[in-house]
Structure 1
Amino acid sequence: MAGEGTAQLEDEWSFVRKLAGRLRQENAILIFATLVAAFALIEGIPTGIVFWIWAIALVVALIRPPLVERVVVSSQAAPAPVDPEALLRTVFTGLSALDMPVLIIDREASVLMQNAAAEKAFGGFPIGAHISSKLRSPGLLDMVRETMTTNTPNQIEHSERLPSERVYIVRIAPIDLQRAEVEAGTFFLLSFRDISELRHIDRMRSDFVANASHELRTPLASLRGFIETIQGPAKSDPKAQQRFLGIMFDQTTRMSRLVDDLLSLSRLESKSHIAPDQKVDLVPLLGHVRDSLLPLAGDLDVTINLHVPAGKAEVMGDRDELVQVFENLIENACKYGQEGKSVEVSLLNEPDQAVSVVISDKGPGIPAEHVPRLTERFYRVNVEDSRSKKGTGLGLAIVKHILTRHRARLIVKSEVGKGTDFTVRF
C-alpha cells in the first residue's frame, strides 16, 4: 500500500512539473491576461469577470500546441528557395570523374556543364554555347530535338573523323531532379560511350575470315586445275606432269605454312595472359638463329652480321617462341632488304637499361603510312612481292602476339630508300 501511494504521488508531481513547463512556455499569454485583469480591477470591473479572463487565458495556454512543434511546423511550411544550377552541380559531381564524355544541356540544347573526358574528346564546349558548335551530325541533332519534344531517352551511333576516327553510342535522357520547383525535362544528360575498339575488332575479324578464305582458295584452285590437266590433256605427257607436280607441291607447301601459322596464332592467343617464367640467354639463341638462316641468306646473296656483348643477356621467356620471333624478323630483313646485301643484328645489354635486339637492313624501306599496320593479320605492303617471297602475311602478327606474352615491345623505324630497323625491347 505504501508503494502504491508513493507511485501515485510521483505521478501527480510529474503532471505538475509538465503543467508548470507548459505555463512557462506560454508566459506571454499569461502576462497579457494578468495585465488585462489588473486593468479591469483598476476600472472597478467585478471580480468574477476578472476571474473568467484568467480562466480563459489559462485554457488557451494549455490547449495550444507546444512551442517546439510550432517551430518545426513553421520551418517546414516555408522551404528555402532552390537554385537549379546548384542541384545540377551536385548531380554532376559524381559524373565528372568518369572517363566517358558527359554533357549537361538545357532545353535550348546549350551546354551547361561538361566533364574532363568531354573536353579531351571534343576540345571543350564554350559554356552556354549550342552543342552544334562542336557536334554537327544531323542525326545526332535530330535525336536531341526529338528527346526534348517527347521527354523520353534516346540513343544513336555517331562517328567522329577528326582528330582521329572514333565511334560513339550517344545517349540523351532527361534529368529528374525530384524537386517541385524545377520542371521535369528542363535539363538533359548527353553521354558518349566509345565503341571504337569494338568496331575495330569486328572489322579485323571480318577481314581475317575474308583473307584466310582467299589465301586458301587460291592454292586450292591451282591444285584442282593442275589435277584436271594431268587427268586430261597431260595424261600421256610425263614432262608436263613432272612440271605440274612441282607446282602442286609448292602450293601445298604454301597451304601448310598458312595452316601452321594460323594454328600458331590460335595457340598464342589462348595463353597470351600467361607470362613465361624461365630465363633465356639471348646470346647463344641469336647465334643459333643466325646459323639456321645462313643457307637462306647465301641464296639471297645477303650477309648476316651478329653483334653481341660479352657474357650473358638473360630475359624471362620461352626459348622456342623467341627463336620463332628472331627467325621471322631476320628472315624478313634478308628477303625484303635484299638490295642492301647485309643485315645487322645487334644485342644491347647496358646496365640499368632494357635488353634490346635491333635487326637492321639497308633495303628500300617502308612508307610511313604502312608502318602502324604491319602487325595486322594478312596485311602486306606489296601483295605480289610478299607472295613471290612465299610469305603468308601472318609472320609479324605472330611476332606481336609472342612479344605481348613476353611483356616486350616491337618498335619499327623505317625510311624510304634507307632501310628499316626492327627493335625488340624487353
Structure 2
Amino acid sequence: MSIHIHKFGGSCLSAIEDIDAVVERIRLAEKQSVVIVSAFSGVTDRLLKQIENDHISSNLAFVSSIELEHVERVPEINSSPWEAHFKDTLKHLCDSLERYHTQPEEHKKADILACGERLSSLAISAALHARGIPAVPTWSEHAGICLVGRGEDATIDIQATRESLSLPSKAVPVITGWYGISRDGFALLGRGGSDLTATALASALDAASVTIWRDVDGVLALSPRWTLPARNLSNLSYTEAAELAIFSQPMLHPSAVEPLRDSGIPLYLRPLHSPEIGGTIIGPSIRSKEPSVRAVGCLSKLVPLKWNLSNAMSLTESVSDAMGILNRSRINVVSIHAQPGHVRLLVSKRMAARAKRILSERLNLPTPEIGEAMSILCFVGEGIGNDSSTLKKIQEIARIEGLKMEIMYDHPRDHAIHSSVSEDDTEKALRVLCNGLDLLTN
C-alpha cells in the first residue's frame, strides 16, 4: 500500500477543535498514513524564552504550565498508554533547563527545544488512540532521522535516514518534526523545519504524496498579511514554490520542495478545517502558456549596510569577513551586492544598528553606513526572468502609478524578477502592481 505523509504545524494545534480536526483528517485518509507534528502553537517560543531566563527556580512552574497546556487540548493524554512517557518527558524538560543554565551548549539547547515536538507527538498519539485509530508516538532520535550539521543549522541526510529509518508497521507513526540526530548530538532544522522533515521522509519512504495541513485555504498570489484580496493559486511548480517561500514566510520552508523534485512527489497545502477546499498542489512544472507573473512575495523592513573599499582592500576578503562575523552573531543577510570598491548588504531593520556596531569593531573593515529602509518585491512565474515583455509590463505599471522602483539584476533567475522600493512605498507598490498584474479578485 502506498504511503501518504500528513504534516500538522503548530497553527493547526492550537485548540481542542484543531485536535478533533487532525484526528478526523487521519481517520478519513483511508490509506497508510505517516504523521509529522510540530510543537503545539506557541510552545517553541515559550521554550526559547525560558532558555534565555536564568532564574532556575522558575523552571518547575514553567514546565507545569506546559503540561497544563497539553492536557487542556488533549485530556486523553492522562489516561493513555503514554501517560508515564508524558510525565517523564516533562521531567526531562525541567532537568534539561536546569542543566543548560549551568552549562549552556548547543546540543543541550536543541534537546530542550525538541521537547515541544516530543510532547506534541505523545498528545496527538493519545488523541488518535482514544478515538480508535492505532497510533504510536515516534521520536526522530528513535526513528532514525539523521541530520548533518550542528545546533539550529542542520539539514537532513536523506540517504542515511533511508538506511536507518525504523517505523511501526501496524499503527500510524506520529513523528516529531524539526529535529534529529547528528554526529554532535541533537540538532535542529531551523524554523519551519517540520515541513522539511515531512518532505525528506516522503523521499526516504518513496511516498505517494505529502499533505501539509494549514490554517489558511491555500497559497495566495500575495501573502494575507498585506490584507489585499489576492487570488488563490490552485497549483505551483516546485521552483515557483521554493522562490515564493523565501519572500512569503511562513508559507513553507524554502527547502521543503527539494527532496521531492527527483521523484516528482506532489505536495499539497490544504486547510485543516475545510478539507473540501482543494488548496494548492505543488509539483513539476507543467507550464504551457506564455510566461506570466503568478504571485508576488515581499520582504519588508530591510536596511542596506554600505561601505566603500580602498584599492588596498580585497573585495572577496571584505565580504567573506563581514558575512562570517554576521553569521556568527545570528544576523541574517538577505542580499549581497558587491563590486570593485563597493559593498552593500541587506539586513532586517531591527538588526541594522547591531550589525553596524559589530562590523565597526573589525579593524580590517570600514564602518558601514546605514541606508534608507526598503522592501524587496519578488515577482514569481516560470519563465518570466527571461521574458522581456513581462519586465516591461511591470515597469510600465510602476511608471503610470508614479512608483519609484528599481529592478535588481544581481542574481537573475528564469522564474523570478526582483525589485526594490522604499519602505514608505511598499503597500502602494503591492496594491498597484498586484492589481495591474491581475492577481487580485476584484
TM-score higher than 0.5: no
Q: TM-score, normalised by structure 1?
A: 0.22
Which structure exhibits the higher relative contact order, with contacts defined as CA atoms closer than 8 Å and separated by 6 or more residues? 2
Q: Which has the higher strand share?
A: 2
Q: Which structure carries more helix by proportion? A: 1
